[in-house]
Structure 1
Amino acid sequence: MACLTFYRECGKGCFVDSVIRVDVKDYYGKTLKKTSDLKSNACLAPSQPIPAFILKALKKIHPEVTAKYYGCGLVVPECLEGCRLLDLGSGSGRDCYMLSQLVGEKGHVTGIDMTEGQLEVARKYVDHHTQEFGYEKPNVDFVQGYIEALEEAGLKENSFEIFISCVVNLSPDKRKVLSDAYCMLKLYFSDVYSSSKLSDEIKNHKVLWGECLGGGIQPPRLVTANVITVDNKELEAILGDYKFVSATYRLVKIPKISNKGSLVIYNGNITCFEESLEFDAQYTFKMDEVVEVDGEVASILSHSRFAEEFTFQPPVVPAGCSVKKPKVGTVNPFELVQQLGSATVSSATGGCCGAESSFCK
């Protein structure tokens, strides 16, 4: 609440550091020097196995950028080629450089972060990665600013097709972050969630907030989730029975949702997802398979960058046609973690298209 008050009092073009922001800056800019300095796996736990094409893209990133990475989960939306993408809280730039390979030379990735030290590392290797990826000119840039004040940082409305983030939890004004993002087109993020309302002691603890365990946001469409553990006895004692998960959600800005469902067929044209597309925890679309979707999902698919990737039919099943029903959906990441815990974990090298795509090689 304090940050929103500061913003209104200062007016447009002025944004004041709150105590929380100062603490977060110090934690990520001064306290943490490398990944091993983290006290929990909140910034390390991938919420699902990493596909081979992403692992290959990550291997091309400079070691110093990777060593300074403190991200929560791994946020990689599908169908990125040629897109303009903004990373909220880009840190050392690891995800930006990975995603710059996926959007391709005709796409562009912008990272915004408030921590000078992290931005210094990210900017240091722009030319290095441009040469490493074989591009004529950089398709990545980094901006210093607050994720609650995108316009004040010089970013223009409707200038990005996709947002990703894993630091919404670090913001003391999450509503402002999401309302600013809503002015753009699409949003996809991974963040941290608590099993219950946090005590004042936990919310005011500098290390726990810095490790992304001091906040919380309301959930939209759930994609996947992973348990967070704390490897520090002092912090464990403070947390007590509180449980945390890293959860990835998909948000898409769409027109007013129709109540009509639809039958959809995935065409299999998304690079590296030719055989199947795992849209969220409820829907996995296999190529040429007829799937029944509800009105919300039908609207998301038909009014987003996925529109050309699906064939849409009225929700009337043709005679002799086999239709796949969706799983029972959940918006609770703790329930999903339990479901995933009972399932067999697939290989981390799965999910790639093979040698056909240039960035899969």
Structure 2
Amino acid sequence: MADGKSGCAKGFCDTTIHVDVKDYYGKRLQKTSDLQSNACMTPAKPIPAFIREALKKVHPEVSAKYYGCGLVVPESLEGCRILDLGSGSGRDCYMLSQLVGENGHVTGIDMTEGQLEVARTYIDYHMKEFGYKKANVDYVQGYIEALTDAGLAKNSFDIIISNCVVNLSPDKKRVLAEAYDVLKDGGELYFSDVYCSARLTEEIKNHKVLWGECIGGALWWKDLLQLADDVGFSPPRLVTAAIITVDNKELQDILGDFKFVSATYRLFKVPKGNDKPCLIMYDGGITGAESCFEFDHQYTFKANDVVQVDGKVASILTHSRFAENFTCQTPGGSSQSCAAKPKAEIVDPFDLALLVDKQGPGSTTGGCCSTKSSACCK
């Protein structure tokens, strides 16, 4: 666990950036409305009803100090062990606590003492509100670049989520590597973050307010693809994307022509597949997506329909927690001609965000778990 006074874990210490981020989120920001951009407030898709109900049970003070940039709620969570990177005041942890159930567990890790104090204050409140006999949530003080140093065991989590936090780290490759190490085989890193249209200038990266606003530390989206591959993850799957706006003119002048997007990706710790097509059938059964499962922006699986996927996606679906919900069919069977072809893959999150703006979020990212089912599920 990190030493709150020295700002050090066993093998990792604060950088200037870490100190500035602690100050920004621990002192400068007191509530969501203090933010200077919508980077940490951009909803990528409609919030499903069951998640809205779960959020209603979160204490108002916890929600008031929420600074996330998207909805990070992957599917099939019952009984899972989840880690929230940069858990802050604990809003997402308490929401997920209800989804994993009393037999699951959620751990939040954050380096900011003030945020952790708020989160820990309401553990008993939430367990009573949820009707749990024992707490299924805990919080650890530490760095997202040093998870094992903070006492988190390797190969111990089914899912890792992160909501607008990875961009705050000066060493994003180390964040991904640590996440890979503490995930179980078949585990998933499902996270929402801010990405830029090109590599940022040193002026922008060194601007304290822009960094605190999740802009200055934004990763060029193409670099994420390379970093994920270097660490060992499967190719990132793009789920949602939304354009970020900066209303402050002074900050906008500094940013110039750089563009920013909030995007959600899912990365899996599974054997890397090939590019050969494979036939997959969704058997149903995932809570909230019993008849139709929106995996990412490209693949939406309707129960009992055969869909052609590439080898990489097949490897994810058959080696992760989704394996029990899918049947892999041998290519060349009689159903091959009836297999649904997926829509074209969009790799660039800016292209997807523009498409969403043009067609409306319900048409491309509303999904089957949203308040309105997508057309493909009717």
Q: For 1:222, give the aligned amino acid.
A: L
Give the alignment partner of residue 152 of structure 1, picking from 127, 149, 152. 149
Partner deviation per Cα, 1:43-98 (whole Å, 9 max, x = no partner): 11011111111111101100000000001211111000000000000000000000
Provide closer, same or farther for how the CA distance between residues 209 and 260 of structure 1 changes in structure 2, counting only shifts above 3 A: same
Q: For 1:210, give the aligned amino acid.
A: G
Is the 8 Å Cα contact of residues 143 and 153 (structure 1) preserved in structure 2? yes
Task: Give yes or no for the alignment of 1:331 onto 2:347.
Answer: yes
Is the 8 Å Cα contact of residues 88 and 112 (structure 1) preserved in structure 2? yes
SS of the residue aligned with 1:161?
Answer: strand
Is the 8 Å Cα contact of residues 44 and 70 (structure 1) preserved in structure 2? yes
Q: For 1:234, give the aligned amino acid.
A: E
Give the alignment partner of residue 180 of structure 2, picking from 179, 182, 188. 182
Aligned counterpart, 1:265: 281
Aligned counterpart, 2:70: 73
Aligned counterpart, 1:306: 322
Aligned counterpart, 2:230: none
Is the 8 Å Cα contact of residues 317 and 323 (structure 1) preserved in structure 2? no
Partner deviation per Cα, 1:250-291 (whole Å, 9 max, x = no partner): 000112424443211111100111121111111011111110
Identity of aligned pairs, percent? 67
Give the alignment partner of residue 218 of structure 1, picking from 209, 213, 224. 224
SS of the residue aligned with 1:342?
Answer: helix
Q: For 1:63, give the aligned amino acid.
A: P
Deviation at 1:350, TM superposition (A): 7.5
Give the alignment partner of residue 357 of structure 2, picking from 341, 344, 358. 341
Provide the rounded CA distance (Å) in 2 between the counterparts of 1:97 and 1:315: 43
Alpha-carbon RMSD across the aligned residues, in angstroms, is 1.9
Task: Give yes or no for the alignment of 1:235 onto 2:251.
Answer: yes
Structure 2 length-normalised TM:
0.87
Structure 1 length-normalised TM:
0.91
Provide the rounded CA distance (Å) in 1 between the counterparts of 2:13 and 2:354: 41
- Matching of residues 258-297 of structure 1 within 5 Å: 258-297=274-313
Task: Give yes or no for the alignment of 1:106 onto 2:108.
Answer: no
Task: Give yes or no for the alignment of 1:119 onto 2:116.
Answer: yes
Gaps of 5+ in 1: 1-10, 355-361
Is the 8 Å Cα contact of residues 9 and 146 (structure 2) preserved in structure 1? no
Partner deviation per Cα, 1:190-233 (whole Å, 9 max, x = no partner): 11000112111110011110111112151422111011111212
Provide the rounded CA distance (Å) in 2 between the counterparts of 1:175 and 1:212: 17
SS of the residue aligned with 1:346?
Answer: helix
Is the 8 Å Cα contact of residues 257 and 295 (structure 1) preserved in structure 2? yes
Is the 8 Å Cα contact of residues 274 and 310 (structure 2) preserved in structure 1? no
Give the alignment partner of residue 135 of structure 1, picking from 121, 132, 135. 132
Q: How many residues are matched?
A: 344
Aligned counterpart, 2:376: none
Deviates more, 1:180-189 or 1:144-153: 180-189
Provide the rounded CA distance (Å) in 1 between the counterparts of 2:251 and 2:80: 41
Partner deviation per Cα, 1:266-323 (whole Å, 9 max, x = no partner): 1110011112111111101111111001000000000000000111101225169521
SS of the residue aligned with 2:131?
Answer: coil
Aligned counterpart, 2:198: 196
Aligned counterpart, 2:231: none
4+ runs of 1 displaced by more than 6 Å? 347-350
Is the 8 Å Cα contact of residues 22 and 111 (structure 2) preserved in structure 1? yes
Aligned counterpart, 1:89: 86
Provide the rounded CA distance (Å) in 2 between the counterparts of 1:258 and 1:31: 48
SS of the residue aligned with 1:193?
Answer: strand
Provide the rounded CA distance (Å) in 2 between the counterparts of 1:60 and 1:180: 32
Deviation at 1:340, TM superposition (A): 1.4
Provide the rounded CA distance (Å) in 2 between the counterparts of 1:353 and 1:23: 37
Provide the rounded CA distance (Å) in 1 between the counterparts of 2:26 and 2:249: 24
